[in-house]
Amino acid sequence: SARAVRGVAAIDEALLRTGPYGAARDALLAVPGLGPFSAGAILLRGLGRMDELPGMRWFEREARRVYGDGFDADAIRARYGRDLGYWSYYLKADAGRARRAARRGRARRVVVVATVA
């Protein structure tokens, strides 16, 4: 809504771009009409903040398809840290390719490897 857009525009841009992730998320959550998923999506997709993931449950479900029952969300968070968003991007991209291949009858094993220097 226009009210939400005005609310986001009123937040200090430096806070959103480079401030502590929690403070930036809380500032967005204070805007009427924005919930946790939208706040996280704005930070991740709109501002390139790779610190956290909105909707981690979806990613956990997809990750279990890739990594199997041994998937550990805390271990993934610890490994990728502030670059967790990159991991999620590669996971989502590869999961989409695997689904398309399966629909065409060419199912394949999905492997996600993401190394961040």
Q: Which residues contact 11 (CB under 8 A, 6 or more apart)?
A: 27, 28, 31
Q: How confident is the model at residue 102 (pLDDT cuts 50, 70, 90)?
A: low
37 found inside a domain? yes
Domain for residue 51, yes or no? no
* 52 within 8 A of 88, measured Cβ to Cβ: no
CA neighbor of 53 nearest in space, from 20, 89, 17:
89
Q: Is residue 91 part of a domain?
A: yes
Q: Is 63 inside a domain boundary?
A: yes
Domain count, the chain: 2
Q: Which range has the worst mean pLDDT, 7-11, 28-32, 54-58, 109-113?
A: 109-113
Q: 113 lies in a domain?
A: no
Instruction: Please write the tens of the pLDDT for every residue from 12-50.
Output: 999 999 999 999 999 999 999 999 888 988 998 899 898
Residue 114 within a domain:
no
Q: In this structure, are 24 and 61 located in the same domain?
A: no
Give the residue numbers spanning the domain of 11.
Answer: 2-46
> Are residue 97 and residue 66 in the same domain, yes or no?
yes
